[in-house]
Structure 1
Amino acid sequence: MSQLVAYALRDGAAHVTLSDPDHGNSLTPASVDQLHAAVRRARLEDARVVVLRGLGKAFSVGGDVGTFAGAEDPDQLVEDLAEALHRVISDLHRMDAVVVAVVAGTAAGAGVPLAAAADVVLAGESARFTLAYTRIGLSPDGGSTLLTASLGLHRALHLALLNPVLGAAQAQAAGLVAEVHPDAELDAAADRVVAQLLAGSRPAQVSAKRLLREVATPGAEAALRQESLAIRANASGPDGREGVAAFAAKRRPDFPSTRG
């Protein structure tokens, strides 16, 4: 199996890199399995910080929608992929390590909540965020519903229903991103954040992460399960099937629900 996610532990920081730039670091069953393995490894090796980034011009374009159309059982594939990704999101939330996402280029679909699962999100000026699920007749997954904790209900609804593309500065203003840096300075900024975290009190950081996450998203596990059920239901419906088919054919969808 090709390496879709790279892992390296350096000085107490685990560097987890989505490494399929030719496909926009898309989230597939194979890549999500490797991502989950890397996150588990960071936990087992007692990393203090986990740095999550994407190789190339995108952080992650989200699920590989093209594979949905050609799958033998697309509904099951969508649900299985959502459940696998939700295990990753849950582990990132619950692990003691402080998770830092370094986002350059596109974060789309499930790539948005994957970045937002981090405790600190750093963005390059090239970063662009868009959910885009409803554009193809699907409901959001990957922890998208948890964005209400960081963005607020109406901003999250705007992102989910109208699919705007947020630039780095807009994402920072909305509360999704902590810091924005020129792309050429992003890695150096991430190194400074990691060094500051490694120099801090680990027990205090662990307590802060647990306390704040529990208050912000006390029902996170139930929300993730509801996302899995919803995206399967939408994927099996006529709008979802039309949206995926239109995406694969690179045409505008003609949703049955909009017809008179």
Structure 2
Amino acid sequence: METVSYERSDSIARICLRGGARGNPLDQATVDALAHSVRRARADQAHVVVLSSAGPAFSFGGDVSAIAAAEDTEQTVEDLAESLHRIVSDLHRMDAIVVSVVRGTAAGAGVPLAAAADLVLAGSSARFVLAYTNIGFSPDGGSSLLTASIGLHRALHLTLLNPVLSAAEALSMGLVTQVHPDEQLDSAAEEVVRLLRAGSRTAQVASKRLLREAATPGAEAALRRETLSVRARAASLDGREGVAAFLAKRAPDFPSSR
């Protein structure tokens, strides 16, 4: 089954997560397909890239069941994190202006994936939760880069306490740029695309480069630190207990907190 689709028309590339029946979990196959689509958009010299999802959720984040089933948990987590980080880096570095369109839940790596866009549009049904520490993991996918958008203490609040943010709350803290009723979200996204297409591409590219470099000058190093940290957490007793508790749908009993 196709988990990611790619379409290009009139210098607009549309990338859609299509594992909606399962909440668009980010397993290695899906992440590889997403990376391929991002590379295609870059090769096609798209002016605008629209990243969206099919189904009721944007993405539940990393596929915890796949991680639990892996023979080598550490390597599996490292490979997945590195693949996600290459996508985030490509979205940041590409000339195209990236617009993400979020409906329903964005959890775990689904949050920084949506936030990797230059413009983040959310439907009123959108909900955002990091949830990494709930399973004894540290955040990856570019989560540490959120400090540039929402500030250190808000990022720590989201990471340590794992609140579920409504679309309105995400807007108020700067995680998203626009919120619309779900039934108007597609038309609002098309209007954003129209405005971008009508503007100066060279000016937009220059602006994106200047602002991103100013906001996250150490992005690549930060992404590598995330990979090393989440790999270590996945191998830890807390990480193993967190994954087991998640799959069993029970509260975790973390060894480090006993």
The one-letter amino acid paired with 1:136 is I
Q: Root-mean-square deviation (CA), in Å?
A: 0.5
CA offsets, 1:219-254, max 9 Å, x none? 000000000000000000000000011111111110
Q: Which residue does the alignment assign to 2:82?
A: 83
User: Structure 1 residue 72 and structure 2 residue 71: aligned?
Assistant: yes
Q: Which residue does the alignment assign to 2:173?
A: 174
Please give the secondary structure, in 1, of the residue aligned with 2:134.
Answer: helix
- The 5-angstrom pairing of residues 121-132 of structure 1 reads 121-132=120-131
Task: Report the number of matched residues.
Answer: 258
Scaled by the length of structure 1, what TM-score is found? 0.99
Q: Which residue does the alignment assign to 2:140?
A: 141
d(CA) in 2 for partners of 1:249, 1:81: 23
Q: Is the 8 A contact 1:66 1:247 kept in 2?
A: no
CA offsets, 1:31-62, max 9 Å, x none? 00000000000000110000001111001110
User: Structure 1 residue 102 and structure 2 residue 101: aligned?
Assistant: yes
User: Structure 1 residue 204 and structure 2 residue 203: aligned?
Assistant: yes
Q: Which residue does the alignment assign to 2:239?
A: 240
Q: Which residue does the alignment assign to 1:184?
A: 183
Scaled by the length of structure 2, what TM-score is found? 0.99
Q: Which residue does the alignment assign to 1:160?
A: 159
d(CA) in 1 for partners of 2:165, 2:103: 13
Q: Is the 8 A contact 1:106 1:127 kept in 2?
A: yes
Identity %: 67
The one-letter amino acid paired with 1:151 is I
Offset of 1:69 from its aligned partner? 1.2
d(CA) in 1 for partners of 2:9, 2:177: 24
The ranges of structure 1 where at least 4 consecutive aligned residues each deviate by more than 4 angstroms after the TM superposition are none
CA offsets, 1:164-198, max 9 Å, x none? 01000000000011100000000000000001001
Q: Which residue does the alignment assign to 2:49?
A: 50
Q: Is the 8 A contact 1:104 1:127 kept in 2?
A: yes
- The 5-angstrom pairing of residues 216-235 of structure 1 reads 216-235=215-234
The one-letter amino acid paired with 2:102 is V
CA offsets, 1:112-153, max 9 Å, x none? 000000000000000000000000000000000000000000
Q: Which residue does the alignment assign to 1:150?
A: 149
Q: Which residue does the alignment assign to 1:36?
A: 35
Please give the secondary structure, in 2, of the residue aligned with 1:142.
Answer: coil
d(CA) in 2 for partners of 1:164, 1:11: 40
Please give the secondary structure, in 1, of the residue aligned with 2:61.
Answer: coil
d(CA) in 2 for partners of 1:70, 1:143: 24
Please give the secondary structure, in 2, of the residue aligned with 1:15.
Answer: strand
Offset of 1:74 from its aligned partner? 1.0
Q: Is the 8 A contact 1:125 1:168 kept in 2?
A: yes
d(CA) in 2 for partners of 1:8, 1:252: 42
Q: Which residue does the alignment assign to 2:111?
A: 112
d(CA) in 1 for partners of 2:7, 2:68: 35
